[in-house]
Amino acid sequence: MSEQDFETRSGDAVTEEVIAPLPRITLQAFCETPAVAATMQAAIADRRMEKAHARIQMGGPAAAVEAFRAAPTPNIIVLETVSDPASLIGHLDALSESCDPGTKVVVIGHVNDVQLYRDLIRRGVSEYLIAPLGTLDVLRTLSELYVSPGARNLGRIIAVMGAKGGVGSSTVSHNVAWAIARNLDASTVIVDLDIAYGTAGLDFNQDPPQGIAEAVFAPERLDANLLDRLLSRCSDNLALLAAPAMLDRTLDLPEDAFDQLFDLLRATVPCVVLDVPHVWSGWVRRALINADEVVVVAGPELASLRNAKNLIDLARANRPNDSGARLVLNQVGMPKRPEIDAAEFSKALGVEVLTSIPFDAQLFGTAANNGQMIAEVQASGKIAEAFVHIASSLTGRGEAKRSKRSLFEPLVAKLRRKA
């Protein structure tokens, strides 16, 4: 499978904005007001700045000129100015004498002045922002400094994890990925992170000779070409990075074990769905926090409620500039089992239930045994519609494909061709 197989077609890109994490860069900000300093502090604490080494100090452009008279400049200098344009230009000219090649300068001003903006750009300033500004404004600007203008939109990473074992999070993640690829027409890769016991290969009736183990245990070999060879096709828009499901080695992985893989996938595919196993380690925590969307799958019972609260609170505390974790209730209505009502579940956690998926042993069992998705077994049922609803909510897109063709479609198509 080549990278061309995942080229984004018109209407294929996920519509909600994805701000790329910054690479390992150095940044120094010189602020003049407490409000901008607080915004910069919030920005460097964001998950997207995890690899960056950043420092904030007061003093504005004058302090920056003094700081770098005899010291090397960082990759990015952020300057806040409240002075008049002439003073700012003077400080920038002085700073340019000591700036290292490749240093990027971002100026935050308090005046909406087109002429000043043009003067700054002519002097090599990368961007001019106008205060007040939000944390995401800063993150977006810094990220765009390292995204080439001709690059495709970055892929959205969706992490799906169960609140406890056996709640069906893998089934949910696989069917949501299928819905994104088939119903929303977005090229998608599903990544089975359960290297020892993963079921994605079984659920998609695939038995690839290579998969995620080759990417994780030999990171020095991992590049775009190897990743292409490791992916196996499930449908026109869906590929799988399967787990070997073997016990030939233990999985005491470092916290950053999957970073390179996720970066490659994000740069290649519009949508990536992570099937996160129900274990707790540094790399699992990192995968959840650094994902663009987090989905917690829970059963309508007490242990799921407790664990789901912990996961949702973790996401809320560590992802203040992202949407909160989404909650999916699965296996609802299991015969003879006392259950917590969805409204009570939602109230206890302080989040809305994205959808409740009814328990249907016959349907899910048939799909699992046949290596099929729910929509392949029962295309028009409520459960298949629930997965499309989850997919649409996570990607910010409506359903791209209609289930029924209009009688007038052939005539309309001919008229368009003539036009």
Residues of the chain with pLDDT under 50: 1-15, 401-419
> For residue 276, what pLDDT is reported?
97
> For residue 409, what pLDDT is reported?
45
Q: Are strands 238-241 and 232-233 parallel, antiparallel or unpaired?
A: antiparallel
Three-state DSSP string of 224-292:
HHHHHHHCEECCCCEEEECCCCCCCCCCCCCCCCCHHHHHHHHHHCCEEEEEECCCCCHHHHHHHHHCC
> For residue 246, what pLDDT is reported?
87
Q: CA–CA separation, 381 vs 87, rounded Å?
A: 67
**What would the pLDDT profile of 230-267 be if each residue is shown by its tens digit?**
998 888 889 999 999 888 888 789 999 999 999 889 88
The pair of structure tokens assigned to 244 is 């070997």
For the four alpha carbons of 267, 17, 158 and 204, in that order, the dihedral sign comes to negative
Name 126's Cβ contacts closer than 8 Å, sequence gap at least 6.
104, 105, 106, 145
Q: Decide: 157 and 262 in contact? Cβ < 8 Å.
A: yes
The vertex-322 CA angle with 160 and 130, nearest 5°, equals 155
> For residue 380, what pLDDT is reported?
86
Q: CA–CA separation, 297 vs 170, rounded Å?
A: 9
What's this model's pTM, rounded to 2 decimal places?
0.81
The pair of structure tokens assigned to 168 is 């069906």
Q: CA–CA separation, 418 vs 102, rounded Å?
A: 53
For the four alpha carbons of 219, 225, 230 and 234, in that order, the dihedral sign comes to positive
